Amino acid sequence: MMSSDEYKKYERACAKIKEVNAKLLASFEQWLLAKGLGKKSITEHVKNADFYINTFLLYDEAIPAKEGAWRISSFLGDWFIRKALWSSRTSIKENAASLKKFYTFMLEKGEIDADDLQELKEAIKEEMDEWLEAVDR
């Protein structure tokens, strides 16, 4: 349990991160538009990235988006299945695709390095079947 001072610090850190995230998501949307994606796809990718960086990464700790790529396994393999009432095989696959795009954008922007993106892609490739079995249960 956090003390009230710790909680205030956490809330301030989250507020700062959310400000940065709002700019990131706006840039991500423009990046997707430049890639030629349709409005509906862009909306879904931004919504999924938003949920990941503003809900999951800020759930217990104040984790900036650029430090979140390696947490995809705990998100799609556990947290999302337990916390998101809409979790399904389809939503897991959609979130994996959105987060791959988001962290590719982050790499192009210079916010993460190639190893971070590679780890995320490998986790998705190697663990997807496991995540889908978990959501089926």
> What's the mean per-residue pLDDT of the chain?
96
Q: Residue range 27-56: average pLDDT?
A: 98
Biggest CA pair distance of the chain = 48
- Between CA 13 and CA 5 the distance in angstroms is 12
Domain residue limits at 113: 4-136
Q: How many Cα neighbours within 13 Å face the side chain of 136?
A: 6
Give 88's pLDDT tier (boundaries 50, 70, 90): very high
pLDDT at residue 2, rounded to an integer: 72
Q: Domain count of the chain?
A: 1
* Angle between the N-to-C axes of helices 89-108 and 114-136, in degrees from 0 to 180, rounded to the nearest 10: 170
Token pair in block for residue 106: 């982050």
State the alpha helices, DSSP H only, in the chain: 4-34, 39-51, 72-74, 80-83, 89-108, 114-136
pTM for the predicted model, two decimal places: 0.94
